[in-house]
Amino acid sequence: MNLGRTIKETFDEYQTILRDASQRNIRVVAYISAAFGYRPEPGSEVFKPEAGGLSSYIDMLFDLGAVTVTLSDLQGVAGEEETRRLLETVVNGRERKFKERLGYHPHHVRGDQGIANSRIAYDLGIRRFDSSLGGTGGCVTGAPGNQPTEGLVEFFEKRGVRTGVHLEEVAKISRFVEREIYTKSSGSRLSINSVSNSCLCRK
């Protein structure tokens, strides 16, 4: 939708790109942006994908050589139950090696909602999660912020899950970003995608 073309037209182009990347031994990480639904305008109805169709797109991307496929809640439209229902359909029945090649990327106004949804994704077998320092991020389509890296790491640590991320250091950097960028920008909303991190859990 961001590209101004149909899903079929987009995938036709992706097939060419992925085949070329595979021949050149280039690692490709694929994203499905509005995997949980899309709201064309603020307050309008949310258009939700059919879970079976979403699974077929995931399979297609894997077949074309993508090493991981990340499902993004682009506008933060899915709560915990909606997230669970869709992910159960997508994840159940897949071999473990394919479950662990799936990723989750939530956008929510409240960071704790993104983390709550990530808990569900983890319990269903997903081990790759996108986050950013202090939840910074968002885009012109109306997408709210990302889930905060420090909150996600803290959540996993409390569950005894190793992330390989030093929580105190991440929290320190997050406070620096808030103090030096957010505070000094007079409260304007920034998109700081350069500080985005990927959290890979190892349990």
Identify which of 136, 146, 147 has the alpha carbon closest to the alpha carbon of residue 182. Answer: 136
Beta bridge partners of 68: 29
Return the pLDDT at 79. Answer: 92
pLDDT at position 73 over 90: yes
Return the pLDDT at 10. Answer: 86
Contact 196, 130 (CB under 8 A): yes
Work out the average pLDDT over 180-194: 48
- 189 pLDDT band, cuts 50/70/90, is very low
pLDDT at position 199 over 60: no
Angstrom CA distances, 76 to 127, 134, 148, 164, 200, stand at 20, 17, 14, 27, 21
Give the predicted TM-score (pTM) of the model. 0.83
The mean of the pLDDT values for the chain is 83
- In this structure, of 41-50, 100-109, 172-181, the range with the lowest mean pLDDT score is 172-181
Contact 145, 137 (CB under 8 A): yes
Return the pLDDT at 139. Answer: 59
Q: Which fold has domain 7-200?
A: TIM Barrel (3.20.20)
- In this structure, of 67-76, 118-127, 137-146, 154-163, the range with the lowest mean pLDDT score is 137-146
Give the sign of the dihedral formed by CA 118, CA 120, CA 121, CA 127.
Answer: positive
Q: Higher model confidence: residue 79 or residue 184? A: 79
Q: What does the buried/exposed string (b/e) look like for 114-124 if buried means 16 or more CB atoms within 10 Å of the residue's CB?
A: bbbbbbbbbeb
Return the pLDDT at 202. Answer: 56
- 183 pLDDT band, cuts 50/70/90, is low
Number of H helices, E strands in the chain: 7, 5
Return phi, psi of residue 30, to 5°: -100, 145
Angstrom CA distances, 161 to 78, 84, 103, 126, 149, stand at 25, 21, 17, 13, 14
Q: Per DSSP, which regions of the chain are E strands? A: 29-32, 68-73, 102-106, 128-132, 196-200
pLDDT at position 62 over 90: yes
Work out the average pLDDT over 7-19: 87
pLDDT at position 169 over 70: yes
Return the pLDDT at 26. Answer: 94
**Cα separation, 77 vs 110, whole angstroms:** 12
Return the pLDDT at 138. Answer: 62
pLDDT at position 35 over 60: yes
Domain layout of the chain by residue ranges: 7-200
Contact 101, 67 (CB under 8 A): yes
Count of residues for the chain?
A: 203
Q: What is the DSSP letter of 164?
A: S
Work out the average pLDDT over 9-17: 88
Identify which of 107, 112, 135, 113 has the alpha carbon closest to the alpha carbon of residue 195. Answer: 135
pLDDT at position 141 over 50: yes
